[in-house]
Amino acid sequence: MTKVEYISDGTTTEFAFNFPFFDISDVRVVVNNVEQTDGFTVMYTPQAENADIPYIGTYVKFDVAPAKLSSVKIYRKIQLTRIVDYQPTVQIDPVALNQDINFTIEALKDFSQSLTDYDEKYSDLTNMPQLAEFMQLMSAVQDAISELDIGTIAHKSDLLQKANIGLNNLDATGRSAITNMIMPSNQSVNITDNGTGTTYTAPAAGYIMYRKTATAPGQYAELKNSTSGYDVIMYSSVANQSLTMTLMCAQGDSIEIWGTADGQTRWLKFVYARGEI
């Protein structure tokens, strides 16, 4: 067997395995279906000189114990490289030949284990009750489509026109519904104003709303969408003037807050578009 699996208890750092291998890179460690490249050490016992397989595993030691109930899998995947290059004029060394054959056999064992794993996963998938229900539903849909004669459908031309992906055939109600989706909703989240240079990532499509007080003429406040390149900026003409601005943004847009206005921040918040609620 060239694979072992465990469920972590959250404190254990050492997980035993005892299959042989040719190189440390042959030993693979997977935690919660993610292959690990560091954070652990492969412990092993060297075999005698000229051994058919040079190493026997003892355990994998993690620097930090995997989280409780994590899946931990240790398996072998031999690197398919040629070990011996036999020369036509040189007598074959029995030890080298024996090692070469054993390497090939062990590589085939790994391949066999991979086929077994695939067969088990495929069997689990095909035995899922949801799959049987889905196949029955698809069969019913196919039967219904095969019985459908589009030539007999009333208003066939209307039906085909409604498939226009440009939405040119929407009536006033449909156009209004789509337009309203981009309007500000009544749901928002406050943003901490950490001063000029503050950056905020929009969690959804919506609006950044900002009101800042200027304490002197000539001060400014600015909202800049560094993703789209759009920005809004306001300058004060008198002291104690409120500078108010709104900037539209899409999900993931990076919004920068700049300015010299040094008075109170009346509000700084993200308002969700109606279509995001």
The pLDDT of residue 188 is above 90: yes
Q: How many residues does the chain have?
A: 277
Evaluate whether residue 138 is within a structural domain.
no
Contact status, residue 70 vs residue 7, Cβ threshold 8 Å: yes
Structure-token pair, residue 189: 């989240």
Contact status, residue 99 vs residue 84, Cβ threshold 8 Å: yes
- Looking at 27-41, 72-86, 144-158, 191-205, which range is the least confident one? 144-158
The pLDDT of residue 152 is above 90: no
Full domain range(s) for residue 64: 3-126
pTM over 0.75: no
- Rounded to the nearest integer, the mean pLDDT of the chain is 84
* Same domain flag for 11 and 93: yes
Evaluate whether residue 36 is within a structural domain.
yes
Evaluate whether residue 165 is within a structural domain.
no
The pLDDT of residue 158 is above 70: no
At 199, give phi and psi (nearest 5°).
-120, 135
What secondary structure letter does DSSP report for 64?
S
Evaluate whether residue 240 is within a structural domain.
yes
Evaluate whether residue 65 is within a structural domain.
yes
Domain boundary (110, 126, 142) is at 126
* Same domain flag for 41 and 122: yes
Up-side HSE of residue 126: CA atoms within 13 Å toward CB? 6
Residue 163: pLDDT band (50, 70, 90) is low
Structure-token pair, residue 58: 């003892």
Tens digits of residue pLDDT in 167-183: 666 777 877 888 888 89
Contact status, residue 209 vs residue 267, Cβ threshold 8 Å: yes
- Strand-pairing partners, residue 275, are none
> What integer pLDDT is reported at residue 243 of this predicted model?
95
Residue 128: pLDDT band (50, 70, 90) is low
Instruction: Write the CB contacts of 196 (distance below 8 Å, at least 6 apart in sequence).
Output: 257, 258, 259, 260
Domain boundary (126, 143, 159) is at 126
What's the structural domain count of the chain?
Answer: 2
Characterize the bridge pairing of strands 265-273 and 71-76. Answer: unpaired
Evaluate whether residue 77 is within a structural domain.
yes
* Same domain flag for 29 and 104: yes
Characterize the bridge pairing of strands 27-31 and 34-35. Answer: antiparallel
CA–CA distance, 270 with 272 (Å, rounded to integer)? 7
Evaluate whether residue 177 is within a structural domain.
no
Measured in whole angstroms, the distance separating CA 182 from the mean position of its chain's CA atoms is 28
> What integer pLDDT is reported at residue 106 of this predicted model?
81
Evaluate whether residue 221 is within a structural domain.
yes
- For 178: left if phi > 0, alpha if psi spans -120 to 50, otherwise beta; the answer is alpha
Domain boundary (126, 141, 161) is at 126
* Same domain flag for 122 and 191: no
* Same domain flag for 7 and 119: yes
CA–CA distance, 271 with 206 (Å, rounded to integer)? 6
Which is more confident, 104 or 9? 9
> What integer pLDDT is reported at residue 157 of this predicted model?
59
CATH of the domain at 245: 2.60.120.1300
